[in-house]
Structure formats: C-alpha cells, structure tokens
Amino acid sequence: MNSIDQIFKQIIDTANSFEVPTQIIEKAYLKAKDLHKDQKRKDGTPYIYHPVEVALILAKLGFDENVIAGGLLHDTMEDCGYTPEQLKSDFNETIFDLVDCVSAIDNTNYVFNKDNVFEDTNFVKSSAEEQTFIKLISLGKQNPCGFAIKFADRLHNLRTISSFEYPKQLEKVRETEKWVIPIAKALQSEYFYREIKNECFKIVNQFSLGYFEQYNNFYKTNNQIIVNLENSLNAVFKGTNIKKIVFRNVKEYKIFEDLVRLNKNVEISKVSQGQILKVTNYNIYMLYNSKSHKEAVFLVLEKLKNNTKLKIIDAKIGGFTNKMYFQLEDDNYIKYNMYIMSESEFVETQVGTLDGQHLESLDEDNINHLDDEIIKVRTRSNEIKYIAKNSTVLDFAFKIHKDIGFAFKYAIINDGKTKYPPYTKLNSNDKVEIVVDKINDKLKNNAELKWFAYVNTELAKKILIKYFENK
C-alpha cells in the first residue's frame, strides 16, 4: 500500500493537471488527518486512507477544490465531533454544505423534516437509512456535487469491503442497489453508475471465480491487440479535430448482462472466453473539440473506412445516456461500441449532469422507488413538477402541499372543462389545476379512508396515515 502522503500527492498532482487550486485541499487534508488520527477501519488500516481515496476519485474526475476538500472532510462531522460551526469557520459555506449533504443522521434523535411531514415524534418514523437518503436528495438538489462525494464514498467502501462478513457485504449491496445506483442513473453519471454497479456484481458473485478468471484472461489475451489498435487510431487521427481517443473495457457485470440477453439460461460459472466474444467488449470514445457533431461523425467514418480494418456493423441510438453510437468489429471478432462526442460531453457522461439538469427527476417523496419511471407534469402556472408514473391527481395535490391535498375537490387537466375525480391517472406533460374546497375562505379537509385507494406515492400515503392515526 502506498503511504498516505504518497496518495495525497497524487491528489495534488491530479488537481494541478486540471488547473484546480490546491491550497484549500491541502488544508482539508491536514484537518482530516488530525481528526481521524486515532481511528481505524474494519481491516485495521488508518481511517484517513478512506477519505483520501475518496478525494482521489473526485480529483481524477476533474472536480473543483471545494468538492475535493469535501471528499477529504466528508466523515468529520459524522464521526469526529467536528461541528458545523467549526467546519464553516475553518473552511467555507460551500464545503460545509457538501459535507452536511452526505453526513448520515441518527433518527433516534432527529428526523429530517421535509415539508412538515415527518415532524410528529409519535408518527412511525422511517429508518435512519431512509431518512439519510431523503436528506441526501433534498440537500443534493441544492448542492449537486454532494451526490458525487456520496458516489465516491460508496465506491471506495465497496472496493474495500472484504473484511466484512459476506452477509454484511450483501446488506451493503442491497442498500446500494436500492438508493445509490438509482440516483447515479437518474443523474446520468455513467462512471459512478457503472463502477458502483460492477462492485456490487463482484461482491454478490465473489464465489464464481471461474467467471472472473475467464473475464480477466480474455482482456489479458487481447491486450496487445487493443494497444496496437489504439496506436493505429491515434496515428490515423493525428492532426485532425479528434483530439483524444479513450478505450474502456466493458465491465464484468455488463458482459454478463449482455450474455443473459442472448441466452437467459446462461450460467455465470460456465461462461467461456468464446461466449464473451459474442457481446460488446470495449467502448471507444472519439472526442472532438471544434467541429460540429455531424462533421465529426463524417470525419471518423471516412477515416475508419479508408485507414483501418474495423468494420461498421450497425448504428444505434441508446446506451446509458441514449446517445448515438456505432457497433464495430475487427478481424479477431472483437466487438466495440464507438461514441463520437465533444470533450465536454464526455466529461458530462462520466460525472453526470450535476449542473441542475435531471436533478428534479429525483423524487425524495418517493424515496423507496427511485428507479421508478418519472413523468413531467405542469401546474396551473406552468411550473414543472416530476412525479412517479401512475400517480393520480390526488398524489399530485399532496406533492404541491399537504393542505392542498386534504382540500382536494377536483382537478382540471390541460385547461379543459371536465372535472376529474381524485383517482384520475396523470400522463406525462399534463397541465393540472387542483381545485380545492373552502369554508369561509379556509381550506376544508375532505380526507376520507377511501383515499388510500386513490394514491400511489409514498408521500401521499404517509400524509394520510399520519392524519388518520392522529384523528
């Protein structure tokens, strides 16, 4: 193992390569090193290795100094008694917000209060795990880089989980598949999604050693072919507007998923290198910086046709980020998916759309179903709301505000004249006006037990349960 200072030097060198200032990163490292100095991980290593490795993941993805510092400090409030006031004073509000976003809560003492739903201590509380992820999503929408710290934290924890008993490992996988992977998918963070999902796959299937041996041997056997191809492509595109060519092995989990699609009866313990050759083995990213996408595609296809032995099998739109790609095959029957995109698009596919796009599609009101399909619905004033598919107009009323839900009378959809009842299902892009009941200009509570049959979202159900328990 490299010394902790050697790993930190990698962080500084990487930050410098992205022209990221390092003063606050160095300060965060010294503070984290001091606060964690007496702590050990489950495997006996000094705890400081974990936040430093988390920060290195973030640095390699090009995040700024506040995010890297947040990675170094991400466990200090939760585990070291470092107070919010101290963190803000020592660093800045941005780093505090990031650390707060990823700090777990103890719901025996505190319930994360969103929209006044969970404030009643007599109400059956969600688990600390659920509350922590409600907090992550709610605060992450305001501080989206907090998601990246959470992803890097979980990724390193999964990579170093072997000291735990297998049942404990599976418990962490279950939690990851329930919460973390759907969030990474919603934010279209390809790097974190694929890396985290692959670590879960390796943990679950760790006793299927034959599969991983076949996988590793396949890529070891073909390594020189790929090195030669990469050198050849770099020579072909030298001096053009294709500025960088990136090769990525298809992950273990994805190879097996693709094999299952070809043959649902395939057994992981019996997968051979010959079978691996039947599916896509590598992703190639052709990155341009100054051409239009159309011009770049034309350039790449022309060069491939005239200067390489790669055969274009098909062109498709799809994949993780629903982008166009080409399926290629070489003389050795190795298969590639080739993506042609700008350098900025490539960065976005790796870290996700953390600039605000897609954040609202994360619905903390439907926390146990983050992987559900989401639809977009507009309010009377054309404000966009995201809600789970198959939600009703009553679900939508409760999403706007619990008092609007209780006072529901009927709904108007798409500026029509029909008065829709509470059980009416919503469609994507519907414009919905909730008409409420009032008495003496005060909202009237119309809640009935039968409303439980009219709602599908967790938020609406929890509000109704709380109301009828206290009635």
Domain ranges of the chain: 4-189, 209-351, 372-470
Q: What is the distance between the alpha carbons of residues 392 and 453, in angstroms, rounded to a whole number?
A: 10
The CATH class of the 372-470 domain is: alpha beta
Q: Tell me, what's the pLDDT at 275?
A: 95
Q: What is the pLDDT of residue 385?
A: 82
Number of H helices, E strands in the chain: 21, 11
pTM summary value: 0.76
In angstroms and rounded to an integer, the radius of gyration of the C-alpha atoms of the chain is 25
**What is the predicted pLDDT for the residue at 344?**
85
Contacts of 63 (CB under 8 A, 6+ apart): 20, 145, 148, 351
pLDDT reported for residue 318: 73
Query: What's the token pair of residue 445?
Result: 């509570």
Cα separation values, 408 from 45, 420, 466, 470, Å: 57, 11, 17, 20
Q: What are the DSSP calls for 327-361, one per residue? A: EEE-TT--EEEEEEEEHHHHHHHHH--TTSTTGGG
Q: Which residue has the tokens 């990675």?
A: 71
Residue carrying structure tokens 């919905």: 432
Burial class (CB in 10 A: 0-12, 13-18, 19+), 373: exposed
Superfamily of domain 4-189: Hypothetical protein af1432 (1.10.3210.10)
Tokens of 307: 């200067």
Please tell me the predicted confidence (pLDDT) of residue 324.
86
pLDDT at 419: 92
Amino acid (one-letter) located at 42: K
Bridging pattern class, strands 282-288 and 242-249 = antiparallel
CB 159 within 8 A of CB 199: yes
State the Cα torsion 421-371-458-148 to the nearest 10°. Answer: -130
Q: In angstroms, rounded to a whole number, what is the distance separating the alpha carbons of residues 378 and 316?
A: 32
What is the rounded CA–CA span in Å between residue 164 and residue 162? 5
* Helix (H/G/I), strand (E/B), else coil: 174: helix
Q: Can you list the residues of the chain whose pLDDT is less than 50?
A: 109-125, 355-357
* CA distances from residue 419 to 71, 258, 391, 415, 468 in whole angstroms, order as listed: 51, 48, 17, 11, 27
pLDDT of residue 1: 56
Integer Cα distance of 236 and 196 in angstroms: 35
Q: Give the pLDDT of residue 366.
A: 54
Which CATH number is associated with domain 209-351?
A: 3.30.460.10
CA–CA separation, 434 vs 415, rounded Å?
11
Residue 207 carries which side chain, given as an amino acid letter? Answer: F
In the prediction, which pLDDT does 370 show? 56
